[in-house]
Amino acid sequence: MSRKAVIALVVIALIAAAGIAWHVMNKPSGVESAMAAVTNGQYGVTARDMTQGSPTAKVVVIEYAAPICPHCAHFNATVMPQLKKNYIDTGKVLYVFRVFPLQAADGVAEKLGRCMPRAKYFPFMDQLFANQPKWDPEFGVTDVRGGLLEQAKLQGMSEEQFNTCIADTKEDAAINKVAEDGQTKYKIDHTPTIIVNGTVQDSAAEWDKLKAILDLALAAK
């Protein structure tokens, strides 16, 4: 999915819930923050990043994705299970997931994931990818708020928590900074964009190609 413009501000026009105090439900533990902050610093992994795998892995895979992106959903369904089983869970790869918003709905989805307990972040993103036709405007969904609310409820979030979460404006800047930094550093113009040990891999969205890249990186001194 191509991106033609610089990241826009995440517009929360999906909900008319203003003036609601921000309620943090997803603070990482001190251990998680410390691990993320010191891990593979040369690749810019931070405490904010959502990661899977060993913090001392030899190979760091960063994925920039958009929750509304069907190509990202395909990657999540066909590549991620094999990547996780063979490389992440075995300690060979540290996987970093970053949202690169293409539409306002992406920013809202990211907010919701970060308002949930940290352990629910990846299950929620998996759920959003698998259920794009139920909430994604690219599938013709007109009630995006309602669709996202139903997805959030499946993870135990109430409507009050939903409204409180997406009313936060401070998080907009953080979401956009991640995307802007990615675009500046990696010249991202599509999602998913896969970076392996700091290098963009244009052919890595299919498993056989990504596997070859990872094996080569692991074999290097």
Asked whether residue 19 is domain-assigned, the answer is no
Asked whether residue 20 is domain-assigned, the answer is no
How confident is the model at residue 189, as a pLDDT?
Answer: 87
CA distance 43 to 57: 12
Asked whether residue 211 is domain-assigned, the answer is yes
Asked whether residue 88 is domain-assigned, the answer is yes
Query: Cis peptide leading into 123, omega within 30 of 0?
Result: no
Q: Which two tokens stand for residue 66?
A: 């958009």
How confident is the model at residue 52, as a pLDDT?
Answer: 97
DSSP 103: S
How confident is the model at residue 3, as a pLDDT?
Answer: 45
**Strands 50-52 and 93-99, how do they pair?**
antiparallel
CATH of the domain at 171: 3.40.30.10
How confident is the model at residue 41, as a pLDDT?
Answer: 60
CA distance 192 to 37: 24
DSSP 20: P
Asked whether residue 5 is domain-assigned, the answer is no
Asked whether residue 133 is domain-assigned, the answer is yes
Q: How many domains does the chain have?
A: 1
How confident is the model at residue 43, as a pLDDT?
Answer: 83
| C-alpha to C-alpha distances, 123 to 15, 101, 130, 155, 182, nearest whole angstrom | 24, 19, 10, 9, 24
How confident is the model at residue 221, as a pLDDT?
Answer: 66
Per the structure, the complete domain to which residue 123 belongs is given by 30-219
How confident is the model at residue 20, as a pLDDT?
Answer: 27
How many CA atoms does the CB half-sphere of 105 hold within 13 Å?
25
Asked whether residue 18 is domain-assigned, the answer is no
DSSP 137: G
Asked whether residue 131 is domain-assigned, the answer is yes
Plot region of 207 (φ>0 → left; ψ -120 to 50 → alpha; else → beta): alpha
Positive or negative, the Cα torsion across 201, 69, 112, 110?
Answer: positive
Q: What is the pLDDT along the chain (221 residues), one digit of tens a residue?
A: 544 333 444 444 444 332 222 223 333 343 344 344 445 566 889 999 999 999 999 999 999 999 999 999 999 999 999 999 999 999 999 999 999 999 999 999 999 999 999 999 999 999 999 999 999 999 999 999 999 999 999 999 999 999 999 998 889 999 999 999 999 999 998 999 999 999 999 888 999 999 999 999 999 96
